[in-house]
Amino acid sequence: MRSESRQSSVGLTSVIGADPARIIEAIREVLPSPAVLPLHEPIISGREWEYVRECLDTGWVSSVGTFVDRFERMLAERCAVQRAVVMVNGTAALQVALQVAGVEAGDEVLVPSLTFVATANAVSYCEATPHFVDVEASTFGVDAATLSSYLAANTEQKAGRSYNVKTGRRISAVIPVHVFGTPVDMEALLDLAKKFGLAVVEDATEALGSTYKKRPCGSLAALGVLSFNGNKIVTTGGGGALLTNDTTIADRARHLTTTAKLPHPWAYRHDAVGYNYRLPNLNAALGCAQLERLDELVAAKRELAERYRAAFRNVPGCRIFEAPSFTKPNCWLVPLLLDYPDRAMLEQFLQAAHAAGILARPAWEPLHHLQSYRDCPAMPLPITENLVERIICLPSGPALAGVK
Ligand SMILES: *Cc1c(COP(=O)(O)O)cnc(C)c1O
């Protein structure tokens, strides 16, 4: 990737920029019919009505109920972990995951700048500080190689823990994010985490159904987090889950998210400042119905990605992103990648696309640009800066992918 961007700046005259009109044409070739093409909308055509009706008929609508337990079991099985603990949303699950991983107030947590703001917000809720790290262009995920040399030069080790030499703060964890459902190269990252004494919390909120070297995303580190927000591949309206093989940690997370109440038939006794973060049964009922169709959704999305790939084969100046062969992404969102960064063209395209009802989106504003996070520590972020001016997320919802 680095050699590629060097090439494009050297041979500038030979580089052909992408043309917004040609991109729109290619999208319409794949998706000719609907007038408006949303980025990602849920599909409610399985057993959702049946399960939600069961909640309503029985009165089990709140945070205790059979669908909560069933959804947790289904998730654990699907993601090949011992336990899943469901919560009100993915951000809450990230926060609790960091807490049970041992992140404390005053720590720093390594977070990619190329992610949704929730990843960094979860760190802030722990009264810790995000420390932004760069990504690889081949996966959009944390680059273990550059991070390793950065940490070697900028931290000191004491009793198996890493401290930022500039701020003096402990760096206690790293959050790899499987951006748009593309798995991070986790093996290298787990090695690095071991070397520097970091806890690893996998932000798999976009990656339910993705695999890395045949293993499900969310199960690759000690702790993984999923989201079931309305725009994710499986939705509960709003919801999230923590995944782990450590039953003690799962019990702790469950306890913390149910106000840390000690079990007793009538007494209200709590042994910590807990949270009211448990997922209601109504939402879990939706989740069970949605999760039953995950294989179908993933297959349809992979197929949509292939149709986009074919349509863009002859469109100059851009290509459909291709994940490395050791991964199988869920293709939650299909990214189109411009050959070189071009913010003006990107803006022009988004204007034209939205005017035409094609609700494509750019990548997020990198977090180190946001007012709340601009003063946080950060390593050099050249790949992030490059990618945010090249990424276009194409309409990728299940209905557009042909799911009925
Ligand atoms: C959706 C998302 C979250 C948060 O999930 P919510 O359920 O919306 O709170 C966190 N990180 C990333 C990368 C996400 O896409």
Q: Could you tell which of 227, 283, 332, 393 is best to mutate to test the pocket of ligand 1, judged by most ligand atoms within 8 Å of the CB? A: 227
- Asked if 113 and 257 sit in the same domain, the reply is yes
- Asked if 379 and 260 sit in the same domain, the reply is no
285-334: pLDDT as tens digits: 999 999 999 999 999 999 999 999 999 999 999 999 999 999 999 999 99
pLDDT at 330: 98
- Asked if 170 and 283 sit in the same domain, the reply is yes
- Report the domain count for the chain: 2
- Asked if 29 and 103 sit in the same domain, the reply is no
- Asked if 27 and 167 sit in the same domain, the reply is no
Q: Could you tell which of 89, 94, 113, 205 is best to mutate to test the pocket of ligand 1, judged by most ligand atoms within 8 Å of the CB? A: 205
Average model confidence (pLDDT) for the chain? 94
Kindly tell me if the per-residue pLDDT of 16 is higher than 90: no
Q: How far is the CA of 116 from the centre of ligand 1 (A)?
A: 7
β partners of residue 145: none
Residues within a 6 A CB radius of ligand 1: 89-91, 115-116, 118-119, 177, 203, 205-206, 227, 229, 240
Q: How far is the CA of 323 from the centre of ligand 1 (A)?
A: 21
Domain boundary (266, 291, 316) is at 291
Q: What is the CATH number of the domain that holds 284?
A: 3.40.640.10
Q: Could you tell which of 40, 88, 91, 114 is best to mutate to test the pocket of ligand 1, judged by most ligand atoms within 8 Å of the CB? A: 91
- Asked if 255 and 327 sit in the same domain, the reply is no
- Please state the φ and ψ torsions of residue 104, each to the nearest 5 degrees: -120, 160
Say if pTM beats, i.e. exceeds, 0.85: yes
- Asked if 338 and 381 sit in the same domain, the reply is yes
pLDDT at 55: 93
Domain boundary (242, 268, 291) is at 291
Q: What is the CATH number of the domain that holds 10?
A: 3.90.1150.10
**d(Cα 388, Cα 347) in Å, to the nearest integer?**
12
Residue 63: pLDDT band (50, 70, 90) is: confident
Contact 112, 201 (CB under 8 A): no
Q: Which two tokens stand for residue 230?
A: 């309305």
Range of the domain at 26: 2-43+294-401
Contact 323, 201 (CB under 8 A): no
pLDDT at 7: 46
Domain boundary (237, 260, 291) is at 291
Query: What DSSP character marks residue 224?
Result: E
